[in-house]
Structure 1
C-alpha cells in the first residue's frame, strides 16, 4: 500500500533532525545555569525552552515512527550512508538531554530515569556499532574517510552526556563509565578526522556548520566533570580547549553565511549552548567573566531562536524535507 501523499516528505526526515532537540535541550540547561545570576526568571526561561524541546522531540519521534513504517528503505539507506549513519546517535542523545532537563527542574522522576537509561544505553550501543565499523570497513577506500567529519563526535564522544544528570538520577558509576569511554575515544576520533583532512580535504561547504561540533566534547566533558568531581584546573583546561575550537570554527563562518539555511546549521546549536553553560558555571565570583558569559548566552539564544524559526519556515515552504545529495 502506498503512503498518503502528505506523508511522502517524511521519507527525507533523517536522524540529523534530532540535533534540533539537542540544541534546544542544551539551551534550556544553559539558561538553568543562569539562575545563579537571574534567579527565577532564568529558571522560567529554561523551562520554556525545555517545553519547546519536549514538543520538538515528541513531533520528531512520531514522524520517525511514520517514516520507519512507510519508508523503511530510506531508514536503511541512512544507516548505510558514510556520513548520515553517525546521526543515529542524535536520537538517544536527545533522550539523555531531555531527561537532564527534567532532572534539573524537578529532580528525580521515573520518566526522566527511564528516558536517561534508554538514551544512555542507546548511545553506548551506537558507539559500539560505529567503532566496530572502523575495523570492518575498507580503510583504503575514500568512502570510509568521507564519514570522518565532526559529526563523528555525536556517537563517539556523546557518551559523556549521561554524566550531566546521571549522578542526580542515582547512576554515578554508569555515568562515570561512559564518561571515561568518551574521554578515551575523543582523541581517537580526532585522529581519524585529521587523517581525513589530509587525505580528502575539508568536508563539503554544506556541512561546514558541523565544524562547531568540535566545541562540544571539551565543553560537555568539563560540565560532566564538574558533576563527577574533576579538579578545577582540569575543568578550566577543557574550557580553554573549547574556546580554542570555537575560535577555529569561527573561521568557517563566512562559508556558512554564504549558504541557504539547511538542517546542518543545527550542528552549531548544542556545542555553543554547552560552551555557554560551561562559561556560566566557571564565572561565579568574577563579575567580568559573568558579563561575558551572560552575553554569550544571549547570543546563543538569538541564534537558536533563529534556527527554530528558519526550520519552521523551511518546513512550511517545503524546502527542508527534500532529497540530500547522494555523496557528502
Structure 2
C-alpha cells in the first residue's frame, strides 16, 4: 500500500514565496526601462505586472497572517532554520520593490513612502538578524555553513534595493547609507559562498536554482548606483560582473531542470529581471546592443511566465505547500568521518 502524500497547507507557506513578488516587481521595472524603445505597449505590460505583483503580495500577506494565528510554531521555525531563515528578507524586499514600481508609474505618494520605509527598515533588521547569528556563542560549523548559499544575498545585499526609489521618495541619504552597507557586505557574502563550495560542497539540489541569485547583487548595485549618481565607469564595471555571473549561473540550469518544480525556482526570477533592466539601461541608443537587451527582456519574461504557470499547476495539483524534508548537511561530516577512518 503506497503512502499518501500529506495535504497541502498554509502551514507550509514559507517566506520563499515572497520571491514571486520580487520577480514580478523586477520584471515590471525591467519593462518600464523598455518604454523609451517600445512605447505604450511596454508601459502597459509594466503596469499590469505591477498590479499582479500587488495582488500576489496581498494574498501572501494574508496567508502569513493566517499562518501566524494558526501555526505560529511553523513560522518561528522558518525564522530559526539554519537554511530557510535567510528567506525572511524576501518579505521586506517585496515591501520595498512594490512602492518602487508605483513611483515609476505614478510618482510620489504617501502610502508608497510609508511602505518603502517599512520595507527598508525591515531589510536592515533582517540583515542584522542574519549576521547576528554568526556571532552567537557556541555556533558550530554545522550550524553556520548550511545557511551559506546564494540565498544569503537576499538579506545581506538586499539593502541595495531601497536606493532604486529612495531619491524619488525624498530619502537619498537613507538610500545611500543602505547602498553602502550592501556594497560592503556583498564581497563578504560572496567570499563565504566560494569557501562553502570549495570546502563543503554545493548547496542542496533543491536549492540549486538559487544559484541565479548571484546575478542580483552586481545588477542592482549598478541600477541603484546609477539612480544615486554613480560614475558611468562604476556602473559598467558592475555590469561586467553581472554578465559573468549570468553566464556562470546558466552552467547549472540543466541540473536545475532535472528536479521537480519548487519555490526555489523563483530565486531565478528577480536576478534575471534585474539583468534585463540593466541591459536596457546600458543600451539607450538603437543598435545591436539595444536589440540584444530587448531580446533578453523577452526571454526573461518567458521564464517568469513559465514560473507562474508551474506555480499555478503545482497549487492545483497539491504539489506545493508541502513539508520539506531535512536538508543534507554540508560535506564537513563526511570530511570528518574520512579523517577518523584514516586515523
Q: SS at 1:220's partner residue?
A: helix
2:168 aligned with 1:168: yes
Report the counterpart of residue 288 of structure 1 in structure 2: 288
Give, in whole Å, the separation in 1 of the partners of 2:67 and 2:218: 34
1:107-166 per-residue CA deviation (whole Å, 9 max, x = no partner) reads 000111011000000001110111111111645422310110000000000000000000
Report the counterpart of residue 62 of structure 1 in structure 2: 62
1:284-307 per-residue CA deviation (whole Å, 9 max, x = no partner) reads 125110000000000000110110
2:118 aligned with 1:118: yes
1:200-236 per-residue CA deviation (whole Å, 9 max, x = no partner) reads 1001111110000000000000000011111101101
Query: CA 1:9–1:137 in 2, change beyond 3 Å: closer, same or farther?
Result: farther
Report the counterpart of residue 316 of structure 1 in structure 2: 316
Give, in whole Å, the separation in 2 of the partners of 1:196 and 1:144: 10
Q: 1:109-188, aligned counterparts within 5 Å?
A: 109-136=109-136, 138-188=138-188
Structure 1 gaps of 5+ residues are 1-6
Counting matched residue pairs gives 322
Structure 2 gaps of 5+ residues are 1-6, 329-343
CA contact (8 A) 2:8 2:322 kept: no
Report the counterpart of residue 262 of structure 2 in structure 1: 262
Report the counterpart of residue 304 of structure 1 in structure 2: 304
Report the counterpart of residue 207 of structure 2 in structure 1: 207
Q: SS at 1:136's partner residue?
A: coil
CA contact (8 A) 1:209 1:265 kept: yes
Give, in whole Å, the separation in 2 of the partners of 1:137 and 1:119: 29
Bigger Rg, which one: 2
2:52 aligned with 1:52: yes
Cα RMSD for the two superposed structures: 1.2
CA contact (8 A) 2:30 2:277 kept: yes
Runs of 4 or more consecutive aligned structure 1 residues displaced over 6 Å after TM superposition: none
CA contact (8 A) 1:93 1:119 kept: yes
TM-score by length of structure 2 reads: 0.92
Report the counterpart of residue 81 of structure 2 in structure 1: 81
Q: 1:230-249, aligned counterparts within 5 Å?
A: 230-249=230-249
CA contact (8 A) 1:86 1:151 kept: yes
Report the counterpart of residue 3 of structure 1 in structure 2: none
